[in-house]
Structure 1
Amino acid sequence: MTIEQNLIPVNGKHTNSEKSQALEIRDLRTGDSYTIPIRHNAVSAVDFASIKAAENTNYPADQDQNGLRVFDAGFQNTAVGESKVTYVDGQKGTIQYRGYSIADLYGKVKFVDTAFLLIWGHLPSDDERAELEYNLAHVPLPDQTHMGKNLYLKNLKLVDKLIVKVMADLAVVSAAAYCHHEGRPFQQPDSKYSYIENLLYMMGFVDSSTGEPNAHHVSCLERLWTLVADHEMTCSTAAFLQTASSLPDPYSCLISAANAGYGILHGGAIEVAYKNIAEVGSVENVPAKIESVKSGKERLFGYGHRIYKVVDPRSIFIREVLSELGEEAKADPLLKVAFEIDRVASTDEFFTSRKLNPNADLFASFAYKAMGFSPDFILPLSIISRTQGFLAHWREAMEGSARIWRPMQIYTGELNREFETEKQQ
């Protein structure tokens, strides 16, 4: 049952148990009272449309007679859908994929297992894993067509096929782009490798003596990407689903998500955090950086999170990966600067009183760099690592009904201005 189903009893009356899970509202404009049901600690915004008043003749744009609207700039406290994919508890600092804690999945499953779990709801059997790995290495590039019709809604067979194609295509295209950027030869995917092994192989990240993907780096990426595979209704996930609500192909939806992820307040923060640390330059300059942040002159990227009031659980495991990368990570002198920023900020009342803690962006770039990736390609890697999360939410949406995301606005501008011709002016 969705939140919007069966909110008002058929007979229009509420039992005592229903009233205990409801809001009693009295509109002081009219004196009328309303009962708004609560389900899953949420109320349906549509229910507020029943709260109406006479038209405000002084400002008819408020549309009082059409029902009360809910204003929430930036979706600070608005749920746009129901999902069974990922649960984030920002108070306790925990993340669950389909009910499994990432702390339990981390280091115990492959990235492709995590992808399978997010998308299809259960951990794969050996045969299911092998089939998915094979398909990811053999899917051809998509046909360039626009059918002009609904192809995906309620068509999960096609949706599942497209999910594999998108994951495979993105890996191939990203690897080819990286090789072009770095001036190195591109290798075709090999079916004997896993998804992450193939990505490294195509990019040329192989052991010089064996020609095989570096096993240690594969292990690190498997764990890193399990940590960041999905994060509930993020800005980029919402952008993906907003686009998907008009029923285009998933590639178009992915472009929307990537564009949203590119912004410095979202996925782009991982790259900006590294560049800001580079601007600090040395441990000696950290106090000045912290003071500049405290005075409001600049932001401290890599610190604080809109959801978490405690340490981002992903950052704890990312530091573990950094530790395992050992000398490869320590070769970057900026890592000491990042550790010092964390040390100072974590004991400063300015940050602790505001519950600002390190997030996944503070150290993740150092893990990628230790494996040989240039800082300016870390963001594309982040998009790849999040794609199966996007696709899991897309599959869930395609199981539902056609409902385009069309938010309302509150108009605050002028009304009924008289048009004057140029001659009159």
Structure 2
Amino acid sequence: MGRTLQDPPHPSLTITDNRTGKTITVPVEHNSIPATAFKQLNKELAEGDRSEDEVELDEAELTPWRVWQGGIRVYDPGYQNTAVIQSSITFIDGAKGVLRHRGYPIEQLAEKSTFLETAYLLLYGELPTKAQYTLFSTEVMHHTFVHRDLEDIIGSFRHDAHPMSILTAAFAALGAYSPEGNPSLAGQKIYTMDTEASLQLMDKQIFRLIGKSITLAAMAYRMRQGRQFVAPPANMGFADSFLFMMDHLNETNYRPHPTVAKALDTLFLLHADHEMNASAAAVLQVGSTLVDPYSAVSAGCAALYGPLHGGANEAVIRMLISIGGPENVPAYIERVKRKEVVLSGFGHRIYVSADPRSTIIRKIADDVFALTGKDPLLDTALALRDAALKDEYFISRKLYPNVDFFSGLIYRALGFPTDFFPVLFAVPRVVGWLAHWRQLMLSRNVKIWRPRQVYTGEGERAYIGMKEREEKGTEGTKRGGEPTKVQHPTSTRVFLARESKL
């Protein structure tokens, strides 16, 4: 009997394997299906199959350690449509340009909230009461001091080291000063036990990481400037303290400009979390091994460092400088179409309409420029934006300005060095990483993230001794199939050795 209109829809998919005729029913929950269901679609080896394809599944031999073997695998390069976790933190609707934290639209938070209040929301699920906020903000700001050894560690970097290299190493080093927060030292289950002590230990590491993030970032900046490190100030907010540690030069009663502090606080809020992005996934991938949160955050920094992620706002400024002026925008647009150059600051992996954060940032830019004066690059940026939004090439590809397009101009106007921009992304994103890490630990059943692969290499073959191997030469060798010859500069020692033989 068929289903009537009154019957509720059956929340499942029926999938038929046309190779074998086998049909399975897969449950649908929150518009998603479990990838492991496809493991039921196994078959015997047939002509054209390779044993390396693991098509067979001997259910009689299954153990908890072999359950991943056999059956259909879901091939999804770059996780284009793979959900790796259930989360209640951040929601994004890329088609409609929607971004919400715990249900609150980003536009409302940017207008009415602060970075630390939004941090509380991301971590604990609700906006705080006055007492809850006082406790949280006091703990975070109390943990801004770092061990004096960090001065030596950060000071040991080359003067021209990239600040993100310094920050990544500093977070990893920070974990050495919290042995009680390291599962490898204090016990594997210190964060996954359902106890008050476990929650307190987890939150203490969170307070430390958020509070010390601005101190480590400021130290990386001042090391590059050749300045002495500055101790965290008392009775200042998060953004104000950060600016103080970066800029204080022994002035009496120095305080950062309130417009600058407010702009930076809002920028921090906008960058605090963005769902399961590359760096958040890196934190959870590493965190799933039950490593300490300092190492997991360091892994997030390493992922954020890349120009396809946190380095994009730095790339925007370099692009605008290379264009040279508004009059050169049409020629640059044509070069982009010919794929000779990259258009940085446009498009997003998730958003197919406007990035909601970019609209907010444009308003912040006006406030900052009113104080600092208009950046000469702004005219080039606006000309590039207008040209791209009118060009069918970019319209058809849904390439709209993203959060990185104007944020770099603001940072530049405030006097931050270009290569420091990713650090200004990493500092607030520590909160998002920790919110996802905390959620993972509170699941109490942490499974190590171990993706599968589709093996396409050689089948089993016998070892051949070097004397019996044929010389193939360079023709027919697959690109990357052998080491390349690297050009090395001639050292003084080699030059003198050659001279002595003449």
Are the aligned partners of 1:87 and 1:232 in contact in 2 as well (CA < 8 Å)?
yes
1:70 to 71, 74, 77: 74
CA distance in structure 2 between the partners assigned to 1:32 and 1:258 by the alignment: 46
Structure 1 position 178, deviation (Å): 1.1
CA separation in 1, counterparts of 2:394 and 2:411?
27
C-alpha displacement of 1:307: 0.8
User: 2-side partners of 1:100 and 1:19: how far apart?
Assistant: 30
Aligned match of 1:308 in 341, 348, 351? 351
Aligned to 1:153: 192
Offset at residue 209 of structure 1 (A): 7.8
Distance 1:191 1:137 in 2: 9
Deviations 1:273-322 (A, max 9, x none): 11111110111111111001111222201011111111111000100001
What does residue range 348-363 of structure 1 map to in structure 2 within 5 Å? 348-363=391-406
Task: Determine which of 81, 85, 97 is the counterpart of 1:81.
Answer: 85
Q: 1:160 to 1:56 in 2, by over 3 A?
A: farther
**Corresponding residue for 2:449?**
405
1:147-201 Cα deviation digits (max 9, x unpaired): 4432322332211111011111221111112112123343211231111111111
Relative to the length of structure 2, the TM-score reads: 0.78
Q: Is 2:297 aligned against 1:293?
A: no
1:112 and 2:116 correspond: yes
Question: Which position in structure 2 is the counterpart of 1:34?
Answer: 24
CA distance in 2: counterparts of 1:341 and 1:205, whole angstroms: 36
Over residues 204-237 of structure 1, what are the superposed CA-to-partner deviations in whole Å (9 max), with x where a residue is unaligned? 2699785112111111112112112100000000
Relative to structure 1, is the Cα distance of residues 379 and 17 closer, same or farther in structure 2, using a 3 angstrom cutoff?
A: farther
Q: Secondary structure at the match of 1:55?
A: coil
Tell me whether 140-149 or 323-332 shows the greater mean CA deviation. Answer: 140-149
Q: For the structure 1 residues 206 and 95, does the alpha-carbon distance in structure 2 shift closer, same or farther, using more than 3 Å as the test?
A: farther
Separation in structure 2 between the aligned mates of residue 349 and residue 79 of structure 1, nearest angstrom: 33
1:364 matches 2:407? yes
Range 184-193 or range 387-396, more displaced: 184-193
Distance change >3 Å, CA 24–CA 213, structure 1 → 2: same
Partners of 1:76 and 1:119 in 2: CA distance = 26
Residue 424 of structure 1: how far off its partner (Å): 3.3
- The letter for the 1-side match of 2:221 is Y
Deviations along 1:64-108, one digit per CA (max 9) or x if unpaired, are 111111100000000000101100110110110001011111121
- Cα distance in 1 for partners of 2:250, 2:389 equals 39
What amino acid is aligned across from residue 133 of structure 1 in structure 2? S
Residue type at the aligned position of 1:54: E
- Distance across 2 between alignment mates of 1:190 and 1:54: 69
Contact 2:98 2:105 in 1 (8 A): yes
Compare CA radii of gyration and give the structure with the larger one.
Answer: 2
Equivalences for 1:135-146 in 2 at 5 Å?
A: 135-139=139-143, 140-141=145-146, 143=177, 145=179
* One-letter amino acid of the structure 1 residue matched with residue 123 of structure 2: I
Cα contact 2:230–2:248 (8 A) shared by 1: no
Q: Which moved more, 1:147-156 or 1:368-377?
A: 147-156
1:237-256 CA-partner distances (Å, limit 9, x unpaired)? 00010000001111101111
2:7 is the counterpart of 1:21: no
Match of 2:137 in 1: 133
Amino acid at match of 2:191: Y
Structure 2 counterpart of 1:190, which letter?
A: P
CA contact (8 A) 1:56 1:62 kept: no
SS at match of 1:242: helix
One-letter code of the match for 2:129?
S
**Letter aligned with residue 91 of structure 2:** Y
CA–CA separation in structure 2 for the residues paired with 1:56 and 1:129 = 64
Q: What secondary structure sits across from 2:390 in the alignment?
A: coil
* Root mean square deviation, CA, Å: 1.9
Distance, in Å, in 1 between the alignment partners of 2:414 and 2:132 is 30
1:112-152 alpha-carbon deviations (Å, 9 max, x no partner): 00100000111122222222222222225452545443232
Mapped to 1, the partners of 2:378 and 2:301 lie a distance apart of 28
Contact residue 134 and residue 191 of structure 1 kept, 8 A:
no
Q: Is the 8 A contact 1:185 1:204 kept in 2?
A: no
* 1:211 counterpart (254, 271, 293): 254
Question: Residue type matched to 1:153 in 2?
Answer: T
Secondary structure, aligned partner of 2:13: strand
- State how 1:134-213 maps to structure 2 within 5 Å: 134-139=138-143, 140-141=145-146, 143=177, 145=179, 147-148=184-185, 149-150=187-188, 151-154=190-193, 155-204=198-247, 210-213=253-256
Matched length: 410
SS in 2 for 1:64: coil
Partner in structure 2 of residue 13 of structure 1: none
Residues 85 and 356 (structure 1), Cα distance of their counterparts in 2 relative to 1, 3 Å cut: same
Shift of 1:332: 2.1
Q: State the distance in 1 between where 2:114 and 2:126 align.
A: 14
Paired residues of 2:311 and 2:421 also in contact (CA < 8 A): no
CA distance in 1, matches of 2:219, 2:8: 58
Structure 1 length-normalised TM: 0.92
Segment drifting more, 380-389 vs 365-374: 365-374
What is the Cα deviation at residue 330 of structure 1?
A: 4.2
Q: Percent identity?
A: 38
Q: CA deviation at 1:423?
A: 3.9
What is the rounded CA distance, in whole Å, between the counterparts of 1:126 and 1:208 in structure 2? 33
Q: Offset of 1:271 from its aligned partner?
A: 0.5
Q: How does 1:333-352 map to 2 (within 5 A)?
A: 333-352=376-395
C-alpha distance in 2, partners of 1:169/1:326? 30
Query: Is 1:90 matched up with 2:134?
Result: no
| AA matched with 1:63 | E
Shift of 1:270: 1.0
